[in-house]
Chain A
Amino acid sequence: MQRRTFLKLAATASLAPAVSAAAETAPPLGKAEHCIFIWLGGGMAQIDTFDPKSLGDAKSKPKRPGSYYGSIETSVPGVRVCEHLSKVAPLVDRLTIVRTVNHRVIDEHAFATNLVHTGRTTSGNIAYPSIGSLVAHQRGAAAPGVPAYMLIGYPNASRGPGYLGAKHGFIYLVDTGAGPAGFTLPEFVPADRMHRRQQLLASLKHPATAGSLMADYEQAQAEAMRLAGPGFMKNFQLTTEPAELRTRYGGEFGQRCLLARRLVQAGVRFIEVSHNLNFINGTGWDTHNAGQLNQHILIQELDTALAALIADLEAQKLLDKTLVVVATEFGRPAAFDGGGGRGHQGTAFSLVLAGGGLRHCGAYGVTDELAKLPLDKPVSIPDFHATLHAALGINLAGEIYAGTRPVPITDGGQPIAALFA
Chain B
Amino acid sequence: MNGLSVLIVLLGLAAAAPEPDSGAAGEPQNDSSPALKSEARTVARWTFESEPEPGVQTKITFDAGPRPPAYPGFAPDNRAAAFSNGATLLLADDGPDGQLRFAQGDSLTLEAWVRVGELKPGRYAYLIGKGRSGKRGLPEKNQNYALRLKGDAKGPRISFLFASQSASGKPGEWHRWTSTEGFQPGSAWHHVAVSYTFGKPESVRGYIDGREAPGAWDLGGATRRPPVADADDLLLASGNAGAQGNRFEGWLDEVAIRRGLVQPEELKARFAFVPPPPPVSREAVPHGQVLVQICENGLPTANVWPVEPPAATESYEQEAFGFFEMPQKYVDTGVRGDRANPLLLRAAAVVNLPAGKHRFLLRARGASRLFVDGQLLLRTNFPTGDDGGHGKVKPAEDYLDLGPDFRFAPAGEGESWCAFDVAAGEHFVILETLVGGLVGKSKRRPELGETVVALSTSGTDAWQLLSPGARHFPYTDRGWAAYAAERRQALDVLNSRARAVLREAHAPYWNRRRETARTYLAQTPEVPVPALPAGAPAQNAIDHFLAVRLAAAREQVAAVPADGVNFFQGVLPILETKCFACHRGSKVQGGLRLDSLAGARNGGEGYGPAVVPGHPESSSLLERVRSTDPDTVMPPKGELLTKEQIVLLERWIREGAHWPEFQLQRATVTPVCDDLAFLRRLALDTVGVVPSLEEIAAFQSDPPATRRASAVDRYLADPRWAEHWMGYWQDVLAENPNILNPTLNNTGPFRWWIHESLVDDKPMDLFVTELVRMRGSERFGGPAGFAVASQNDAPLATKGTIVSTAFLGIEMKCARCHDAPAHASKQADLFGLAALLAAAPVEVPKTSSVSLDKLSAGGRMPLIEVTLKPGSRVEPRWPFPELCDESLGAALAEDPQDTRDRLAALITAPQNARFAQVIANRIWQRLMGRGLVDPVDDWEHGRASHPELLGWLGRELVRSGYQAKTIARLVLNSHAYQRAADPALRETGPLFVAPAARRLSAEQVVDSLFVVTGKPFRVEEVNLDVDGRRDLKNSISLGRPTRCWMLASTSNERDRPSLALPRVQAVADVMQAFGWRGARQDAASVRDTAANALQPAILANGTMSIWLTRLSDDHAVTQLALQDQPVETLLERLFLRILTRKPTAQERAALVDYLRPGYASRRRDVRPSAASAATRGPKRYVSWSNHLDPESTVLRQQEEVAARRGDPPTERLAPAWRERLEDVVWALVNAPEFVFSP
Contact = CB atoms under 8 A, between A and B. Distances in A.
Is B a genuine binding partner of A? yes
Contacts of A10: 860-861
Contact of A122 (B744, B941, B1230): B744
B1094 A193 contact: no
Interface residues of B, number: 112
Interface in B1077-1101: 1077-1082, 1088-1098, 1100-1101
A156 B1223 contact: no
Interface in B1045-1064: 1049-1058, 1060
Contacts of A220: 1091-1093, 1095-1096
A283 interface: yes
A60 interface: no
B631 A5 contact: yes
Contacts of B1053: 109-110, 113-114, 156-158
A240 to B, nearest CB: 22
Interface string A11-41: 0001100110011000000000000000101
A167 B996 contact: no
B75 interface: no
Interface in A218-251: 218-221, 223-225, 227-228
Nearest to B1143: A204
A5 B1082 contact: no
Residue among A147, A197, A219 with the highest chain B CB neighbour number at 10 A: A197
A72 to B, nearest CB: 29
Contacts of B986: 211-213
A8 interface: yes
B941 to A, nearest CB: 7
A109 to B, nearest CB: 5
Interface stretch (B472-480, B765-773, B851-859, B958-966): B851-859
Interface string A178-200: 10011111101100010011001
B1231 A124 contact: no
Interface string A114-135: 1000000111111100000000
Interface stretch (A272-280, A297-305, A354-362): A272-280
Contacts of A214: 983, 997, 1232-1233, 1236
B1057 A276 contact: yes
A316 interface: no
B741 A124 contact: no
A165 B1054 contact: no
A200 B1151 contact: yes
Contacts of A399: 637-638
B720 to A, nearest CB: 26
Given A113-B1053, A166-B1075, A278-B1188, A221 B813 contact: no
A6 B860 contact: yes
Interface residues on A, range: 35 or more
Interface in A62-109: 108-109
Given A5-B631, A127-B1081, A200 B1150 contact: yes
A267 to B, nearest CB: 15
Interface stretch (B35-43, B94-102, B787-795): B787-795
Contact of B745 (A42, A124, A205): A124
Nearest to A401: B581
B793 to A, nearest CB: 9
B1081 A124 contact: yes
Nearest to B1075: A166
A217 B1096 contact: yes
A193 B1154 CA distance: 13
A53 to B, nearest CB: 27
A185 B1227 contact: no
A201 B743 contact: no
Contacts of B985: 212
Given A182-B1094, A404-B581, A8 B1188 contact: no
Contact of A181 (B861, B1052, B1102): B1102
Contacts of B1230: 197, 201, 221
A93 to B, nearest CB: 31
Given A123-B816, A126-B1082, A157-B1049, A4 B1097 contact: no
A144 to B, nearest CB: 13
B1093 A122 contact: no
A274 B1090 contact: no
Contacts of A7: 631, 860-861
A155 B1236 CA distance: 27
Given A156-B1053, A156-B1055, A122 B1081 contact: yes
A123 B1081 CA distance: 8
Interface in A352-409: 397, 399, 404-406
A182 B1073 contact: yes
Contacts of A274: 1055
A211 B1188 CA distance: 52
Given A19-B856, A211-B984, A276-B1055, A182 B744 contact: no
Interface stretch (B196-204, B412-420, B1175-1183, B1189-1197): B1189-1197
B848 interface: yes
A212 B997 contact: yes
A41 B1082 contact: no
Given A22-B858, A278-B1188, A200 B997 contact: no
Contacts of B638: 399
B1116 interface: no
B1090 to A, nearest CB: 6
Contacts of A4: 630-631, 636-637, 858-860
B801 interface: yes
Given A217-B1096, A412-B854, A186 B1106 contact: yes
Given A125-B813, A213-B999, A214-B997, A171 B1094 contact: yes
B510 interface: no
Given A5-B860, A156-B1051, A208-B983, A122 B1103 contact: no
Contacts of A39: 1055
A306 to B, nearest CB: 18
Contacts of A23: 857-858
Nearest to B801: A125
Given A19-B857, A182-B1100, A404-B581, A203 B744 contact: no
A111 B1091 contact: no
A311 interface: no
Contact of B1101 (A121, A157, A174, A185): A185
B875 interface: no
B1093 A223 contact: yes
B983 A212 contact: yes
Given A5-B630, A157-B1079, A165 B983 contact: no
A166 B1074 contact: yes
Nearest to B636: A4
Interface string B498-515: 000000000000000000
B1091 A193 contact: no
A409 B1230 CA distance: 37
A205 B814 contact: no
A223 B997 CA distance: 22
B1054 A218 contact: no
Nearest to B1049: A157
B1232 A6 contact: no
A157 B1078 contact: yes
A124 B789 contact: yes
A61 interface: no
B1056 A284 contact: yes
A123 B791 CA distance: 9
Contacts of B1088: 165-167
Given A4-B630, A124-B816, 19 more contacts: A5-B860, A8-B631, A110-B743, A124-B745, A124-B789, A127-B1077, A156-B1050, A156-B1051, A157-B1049, A182-B1094, A182-B1102, A193-B1219, A203-B1146, A204-B1228, A209-B983, A217-B1232, A225-B1100, A276-B1057, A286-B1054
16 contacts: A1-B639, A42-B1054, A108-B743, A110-B1053, A122-B1081, A154-B1057, A166-B1094, A183-B1097, A201-B1230, A204-B1147, A204-B1231, A217-B1096, A220-B1091, A225-B1096, A278-B1056, A282-B1188
